């Protein structure tokens, strides 16, 4: 959620920290700040601002932003904050310092026992200037340092013992001007290694790849000291030294560019045909070729196990995810059950992790996370691993924490998704899950279903062309957004395999336009939601050709009879006698029933986008949302 950066070396510190934070802006934030060691005064100077990163730049001294010849070692940390404890104010922005300014730190995560710790510290005379849990950590660390003669590493070990919750910490100590300290517990943190004692710290590799491809992945419970002369001293949860392992990653500098589009979300919607092509590349070559999915584990130290072997000898599939990833899993449930003929459960990770589910080595658990760092999904996955289940991570980041802990990794290959509102990752996740379902069918020899595979494969291979045809004419959706943009609520309905796409359509609209929207099965309308319908409630129906088309028509008529404004998104001509059921009709190309959710989602994405744009909302960084939810 929040973003951490840090640097120790001989580059101009402030410009480097600001640019590193800029690479993390897309994650969503409401304030920012940096802290740099001043070699002249031997103090740590802190600069903070609310709002966009440019506001921080404007409060930085001009000489700090210059890049003069560097003679002294530069040390600093930076942070962009997404508010959890306390409103988005300068006082609550990071970095935070301890009572005497001896310690300055930035923090991602949530300290669950901060209130108890704060009460104890206030009893000792510590004064708090913010409402954050992070300031408690800074004061506590200073308090611990008193009893450790300002020896920082033993103090960090004691700090870890007292903190409960999730945290990634990057810390500076006034009495150790040439050092950085880091600690990780259930929140991502990596170290980048440069030349001649140069080090970077970040919560995401994205912030480092412009500078180095040598990465140290911190594991839960680890902490470290970074210095020019001592290198990286890494310690484990038991406070004993740990061997430092440096991974060479293949990702080069990332260019975050709108390429002429007004917003990243629109650019990413238009990238979806190529995303599908990339997801299919080498995994399926023709409608008669078998599907092959490699295990994408470039930084895993575990012995590689094939995806095919992981998906064999299982009696049940459990898909876990949050938000858009959950909806993608819901789509895949229909296909995998149909082709493989084993039960598939789709679980909201935040609930699943606190249950006591029935799992064993005959279960395959598929965890879906665009970032591979989603806290609830990661913890649900760890529950599955402890229970002996087979595990696969479906992610856009094969270098993520999730990818490093599972038996197998499927890279959805969507590329960097900048907009907080997920679009192309949703499509890529479904395609990857479809390929997994086909591969399971082929390997398990479900004879009566094998004959259906060539038609489905052909549908997937032709999907990018159909998507491009849809994206060539968006004028009707722009007009629709202007017509319905002033409504305060909408319903989205569908049935069958398109039902999860209705859930996703409602999620997109509420995420970026702030219009209240709900997704329902058309069959569920008369079991409660129909009470909401009148002329002030537009209903968007995803009508796909297939087994439930006629049933959906009947559901739409029921809604129209209650005076609802009816919008149809369909790939089939509306039958004679039903023309008056719909006030507006958006057509998309005829397609195989199984790919209808993929094609039908595009008009819903564009409707959400154009509605938000019409209302003047911040499309790429909607309020209260973060791209990667790394805390509960």
**DSSP E strands: which ranges in 360-504?**
363-369, 390-395, 408-411, 489-494
Beta-sheet pairing, 408-411 with 363-369: unpaired
- Which tokens in the block code for residue 432? 């990857």
Distance CA 399, CA 372 (A): 8
Give the residue carrying structure tokens 């430092």. Answer: 244
Distance CA 496, CA 499 (A): 6
DSSP 218: P
Give the residue carrying structure tokens 């082929």. Answer: 442
Distance CA 414, CA 17 (A): 27
| 335: CB partners within 8 A, 6+ apart | 433, 434, 437, 497, 594
SS3 (DSSP) at 225:
strand
Distance CA 569, CA 478 (A): 14
- Which tokens in the block code for residue 395? 């992610």
34, β-bridge pairs:
47, 78
Give the residue carrying structure tokens 């658990």. Answer: 365
Residues, the chain: 632
- Which tokens in the block code for residue 224? 């470290």
Q: For residue 618, report the phi and psi dihedrals to the nearest 5 degrees.
A: -80, 95
Provide the 10 A C-beta neighbour count for residue 338.
17
b/e code 554-573 from CB counts within 10 Å (16+ = b): ebbebbbeeebbbbbbbbee
According to the 3-state scheme, what is the secondary structure of 289-307?
A: CCCCCCCCCCCCCCCCCCH
Whether the CB-CB separation of 350 and 530 falls below 8 Å is answered with: no
Q: For residue 79, report the phi and psi dihedrals to the nearest 5 degrees.
A: -160, 140
Q: For residue 386, report the phi and psi dihedrals to the nearest 5 degrees.
A: -65, -25
Say if residue 95 is preceded by a cis peptide, omega within 30 of 0: yes
- Which tokens in the block code for residue 237? 């949860």
Q: For residue 470, report the phi and psi dihedrals to the nearest 5 degrees.
A: -65, -45
Is residue 48 part of the annotated active site? The answer reads no
Provide the 10 A C-beta neighbour count for residue 162.
16
Which residue is catalytic, options 333, 457, 508, 627?
627
Whether the CB-CB separation of 183 and 144 falls below 8 Å is answered with: no
| 531: CB partners within 8 A, 6+ apart | none
Whether the CB-CB separation of 407 and 303 falls below 8 Å is answered with: no
Distance CA 171, CA 174 (A): 10
Is residue 2 part of the annotated active site? The answer reads yes
Which residue is catalytic, options 2, 441, 556, 591?
2
- Which active-site residues does the annotation give? 2, 627
């Amino acid at each position: 959620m929040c973003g951490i950066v840090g640097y120790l070396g001989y580059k101009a510190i402030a410009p480097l920290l600001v640019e590193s934070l800029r690479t993390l802006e897309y994650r969503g934030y409401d304030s920012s700040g940096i802290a740099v060691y001043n070699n002249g005064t031997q103090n740590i100077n802190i600069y903070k601002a609310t709002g966009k990163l440019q506001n921080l730049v404007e409060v930085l001294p001009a000489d700090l932003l210059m890049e003069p010849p560097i003679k002294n070692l530069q040390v600093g940390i930076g942070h962009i904050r997404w508010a959890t404890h306390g409103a988005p104010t300068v006082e609550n922005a990071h970095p935070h310092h301890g009572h005497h300014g001896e310690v300055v730190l930035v923090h991602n995560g949530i300290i669950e026992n901060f209130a108890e710790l704060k009460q104890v510290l206030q009893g000792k005379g510590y004064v708090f200037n913010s409402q954050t849990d992070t300031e408690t950590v800074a004061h506590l660390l200073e308090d611990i340092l008193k009893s450790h003669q300002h020896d920082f590493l033993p103090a960090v070990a004691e700090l870890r013992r007292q903190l409960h919750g999730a945290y990634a910490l990057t810390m500076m100590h006034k009495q150790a001007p040439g050092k950085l300290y880091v600690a990780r517990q259930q929140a991502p943190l990596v170290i980048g290694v440069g030349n001649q004692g140069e080090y970077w710290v970040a919560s995401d590799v994205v912030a480092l790849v412009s500078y180095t491809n040598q990465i140290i992945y911190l594991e839960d419970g680890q902490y470290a000291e970074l210095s020019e002369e001592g290198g990286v001293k890494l310690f484990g949860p038991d406070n004993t030294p740990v061997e430092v392992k440096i991974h060479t990653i293949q990702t080069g500098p990332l260019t975050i560019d709108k390429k002429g589009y007004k917003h990243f979300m629109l650019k990413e919607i238009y990238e979806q045909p190529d995303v599908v092509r990339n997801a299919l590349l080498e995994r399926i070559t023709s409608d008669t070729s078998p599907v092959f999915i490699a295990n994408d584990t470039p930084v895993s130290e575990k012995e590689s196990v094939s995806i095919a072997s992981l998906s064999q000898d299982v009696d049940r599939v459990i898909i876990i995810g949050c938000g858009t990833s959950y909806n993608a899993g819901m789509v895949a449930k229909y296909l995998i059950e149909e082709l493989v003929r084993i039960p598939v459960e789709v679980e909201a990770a935040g609930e699943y992790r606190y249950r006591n589910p029935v799992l064993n080595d005959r279960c395959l658990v598929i965890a879906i996370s665009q970032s591979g760092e989603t806290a609830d999904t990661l913890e649900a996955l760890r529950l599955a691993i402890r229970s002996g289940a087979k595990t696969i991570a479906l992610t856009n980041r094969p270098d993520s924490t999730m990818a490093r802990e599972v038996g197998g990794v499927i890279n959805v290959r969507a590329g960097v998704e900048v907009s907080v509102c997920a679009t192309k990752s949703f499509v890529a996740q479904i395609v990857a899950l479809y390929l997994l379902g086909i591969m399971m069918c082929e390997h398990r020899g479900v004879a009566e279903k094998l004959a259906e595979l060539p038609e489905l494969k052909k549908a997937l291979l032709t999907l990018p062309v159909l998507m491009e045809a849809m994206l060539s004419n968006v004028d009707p959706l722009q007009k629709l957004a202007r017509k319905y943009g002033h409504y305060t609520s909408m319903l989205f309905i569908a049935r069958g395999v398109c039902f999860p796409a209705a859930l996703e359509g409602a999620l997109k609209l509420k995420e970026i336009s702030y219009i209240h929207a709900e997704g329902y099965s058309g069959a569920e309308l008369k079991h409660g939601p129909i009470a909401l319908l009148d002329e002030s409630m537009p209903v968007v129906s995803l009508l796909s050709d297939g087994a439930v088309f006629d049933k959906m028509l009947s559901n739409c008529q029921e809604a129209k009879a209650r005076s609802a404004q009816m919008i149809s998104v369909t790939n089939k001509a509306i039958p004679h006698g039903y023309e008056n059921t719909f006030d507006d009709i958006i057509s998309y190309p005829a397609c195989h029933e199984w790919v209808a959710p993929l094609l039908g989602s595009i008009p819903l994405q564009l409707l959400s986008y154009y509605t938000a744009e019409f209302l003047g909302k911040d499309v790429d960084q909607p309020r209260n949302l973060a791209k990667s939810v790394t805390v509960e």
